[in-house]
Amino acid sequence: MTELAYLTATEALRLFRTRQLSPRELMTAVIERAELVEPVVNAFAERMFDLALDAAAAAERHYRPGGHPRPLEGLPVVAKEEQPIAGHLITDGTLLRAPYVATETAIVLTRIQHAGGIVHARTTTSEFCCMPLSHSRRWGVTRNPWNLAAAAGGSSGGSAASLAAGTTTLATGSDIGGSLRAPASFTGVVAFKPPHGRNPILPPAGQDAFFHHGPMARTVADCAVLQDVMAGPDSRDPASLRLTPPGPLGPADAEDLRGLRVAIADAPGDFPVDLEIRATTRATAEALRETGAHVDEVEVDWRLDEVKRALWAHFGSGLAAELLDADRQRPDTITPYTLAFARKAVENAPRMDAATGHRLARSVQHRLDAVLDRVDALVMPTLGATAFAAGEDYVDTALVVDGVELEHFSDASLTPLFNICSTHPVVAVPSGWAANGVPTGVQVVAAPYDDGTAFRVAAAVERLRGAGFSGDRVPVLPAG
């Protein structure tokens, strides 16, 4: 059953079509795997196993002669708990306020269900999805299947951990500062932060240019299959209406990148990056040269302080002030890292007005433009650290990267750059392994709305580096 649980989506669909495997058999394998390892990994916020088995049995009819299977027919999918499903609770991963029942389903989840995907579980997040961690007082600790002492990252940590643990075939997540890409990097899976507007989001969240819903999978091809279903305009998200409907990403041609120009930045600007991660990023550059691509190492003059100030200006103190007020009414209820985030946001808000934020964001974008005006794609680390400790709040404990004690552990994230530069597609793909057994990852960044190039280069990285799940290696997990 473990082998079936790690089957790729593309292979599962082929086996469904040839009737060598049924959707119910795959769903049963995934659920049995979850029953075995979930007590250890803790990736699920809600289980819908019985309904999923019924849906899988119904999906089998579409593969009989004369049937018309849809693009995701019968595939198991987990959804991030933050993304609403009508009739189900939304908790924001917190005990600070009461859960509420969603009245509407996220647009991307509706599309997945209409395409035949079966949501069998919803996944854990950091509290209010505010940090790249994977624990909260509501959910407990979500662990990294490759190293249970390490965090799965966040805020889409449950989705990433589920993929790595073999308890789903596909997953969804969201990303406002790296919440798709950070956990993908730590768990050796693939994630796509689409250009703003590509995947529509219900109002009012869709109005935030930093905010994205995106796919997660164990391979680049599977990620493309899910992204094809999620993308496209919807009248509820005006940003999506301004875009030309995307064509299918299809299988990426990763064999030959001749004529493509790729820039590599193993330690952009003054962002601290662990030596192991720099090494796997440089190895990625060497591998891409084998495809015929023209690869150059570049310097990108991004300043960590400038990026942090742009983020504080964007997020402001609205939610932060509300959280501090709620904490005064219910002390010792909020997760410590969330309280620290709220305090820092309120402290910084008076100095970070909207005009300052726009100026800082333009500066960040200008530095990226200077690179992508000369190349087709930029490849750089997803995170500067090799792992965060499972269950650690990093309030009283400092994170040290390459001998540098970070002011805040989230300074190890190189992901927020592309929430600021939100029209750029970014594929997070595994690049190698750190000594602690946790995967490392790179971000493949392309020009605005050039999703195809980002996927093409990411597929080449996957094939050449053989990291994550593109090889035969899977986590060895104890039974719960």
User: Which are the catalytic amino acids?
Assistant: 80, 155, 179
Rounded to 5 degrees, what are φ and ψ at 303? -110, 125
Selection from 373, 430, 429, 375 nearest residue 262 by Cα: 375
Judged by phi (left if over 0) then psi (alpha if -120 to 50, else beta), residue 142 lies in beta
Under 8 Å between Cβ of 198 and 246: yes
Phi, psi of 62 (to 5 degrees): -70, -15
| Token output for 97 | 């306020």
Strands 147-151 and 426-433: unpaired
Q: Which of 107, 34, 23 is nearest to 72 (CA)?
A: 23
Q: Is the dihedral of CA 222, 225, 229, 232 positive or negative?
A: positive
Cα distances from 351 to residues 98, 308, 316, 355, 421, in angstroms, run 33, 12, 10, 11, 22
Distance, in Å, from the CA atom of 137 to the CA atom of 334, rounded to the nearest integer, reads: 7
Give the closest residue to 40 by CA, choosing from 153, 177, 146: 146
Instruction: Give the HSE-up count for residue 227: Cα atoms under 13 Å, Cβ half-sphere.
Output: 34
Nearest to 373 by CA among 424, 443, 422: 424
Secondary structure class of 194 (helix, strand, coil): coil
User: Closest Cα partner for 216 from 176, 251, 183, 259?
Assistant: 183
d(CA 132, CA 383): 10
Six token digits for residue 264:
């590599």
